[in-house]
Amino acid sequence: MGLPTKYLGKDEVIIRHMHSHVKELFLAIILGILLIIAVIAAFVFLPESVDPWGPWVVVGLAVILAIWKVFIPWLKWITDTYTITSRRIITRTGIIAKNGHDIPLARISNVAYEHDLIDRIFGCGTLILETSADNPLRLHDIPKVEQVHVELTELLFNNDQHYDREIDY
């Protein structure tokens, strides 16, 4: 689900819409698998002295943990987005209360990226956008960060050519 076109200005085009890299969900996925194994083990190995409520207590605790440590992180990941348009960079975060941050491309003075060994393995990194403000905006776990870096520098420093269409990836 991309940014609705009703939030775009006249002649503004979406260049790239993305979420952070799925590696943010690895711990949640592993915990979800462990919770499933724990519930199965509870039904198989708990002594009969705790029947019938023992396994169901384990199920209840597993559901609470799954909501807290699996479902909510996934919901946060799915609702946090980064969008690059022909005029600005738009960040949206939040599950219930939405927060947004728009940076006009004209305000960005430098674009850089960082990625450590783990980021290089997964093909992601941190995009750093410097503006006239004191602190640069750091967008963590951007997929294909090098490609996004090139696209942004082309948008910023080759401003003679205007994008008239969305680029498909």
Torsion angle defined by CA atoms of residues 73, 67, 93 and 20, in that order, rounded to the nearest 10 degrees: 20
pLDDT at position 132 is 79
Of 76, 92, 112, the one marking the end of a domain is: 76
Give tens-digit pLDDT for 81-91: 999 999 999 99
pLDDT at position 9 is 87
Domains of the chain: total: 2
pLDDT exceeds cutoff 80 at 125? yes
- Determine, yes or no, domain membership for 63: yes
Give tens-digit pLDDT for 114-124: 999 999 999 99
Helix ranges (H only) for the chain are 26-45, 53-66, 72-79, 117-122, 145-157
CATH number of the domain that residue 116 is part of: 2.30.29
Question: Do 111 and 148 fall within a single domain?
Answer: yes
Question: Do 99 and 162 fall within a single domain?
Answer: yes
Give one word for 121, left, alpha or beta, with left for phi > 0 and alpha for psi -120 to 50: alpha
Give tens-digit pLDDT for 13-51: 999 999 999 999 999 999 999 999 999 998 898 888 887
3-state SS class at 70: helix
Domain that holds residue 38: 24-76
Answer whether 42's CB lies under 8 Å from 51's CB: no
Question: Do 34 and 91 fall within a single domain?
Answer: no
Question: Do 115 and 46 fall within a single domain?
Answer: no
Q: Considering the entire predicted model, what is its pTM?
A: 0.79
Question: Do 59 and 33 fall within a single domain?
Answer: yes
pLDDT exceeds cutoff 80 at 163? no
- Determine, yes or no, domain membership for 149: yes
Answer whether 2's CB lies under 8 Å from 83's CB: yes
- Determine, yes or no, domain membership for 114: yes
Question: Do 58 and 90 fall within a single domain?
Answer: no
Question: Do 163 and 91 fall within a single domain?
Answer: yes
pLDDT at position 167 is 45
pLDDT at position 1 is 57
Question: Do 131 and 162 fall within a single domain?
Answer: yes
Question: Do 111 and 46 fall within a single domain?
Answer: no
Question: Do 40 and 108 fall within a single domain?
Answer: no
Give tens-digit pLDDT for 53-108: 888 899 999 999 999 999 999 999 999 999 999 999 999 999 999 898 899 998 99
CB atoms within 10 A of CB 11: 10
CB neighbour list of residue 158: distance below 8 Å, 6 or more residues apart: none
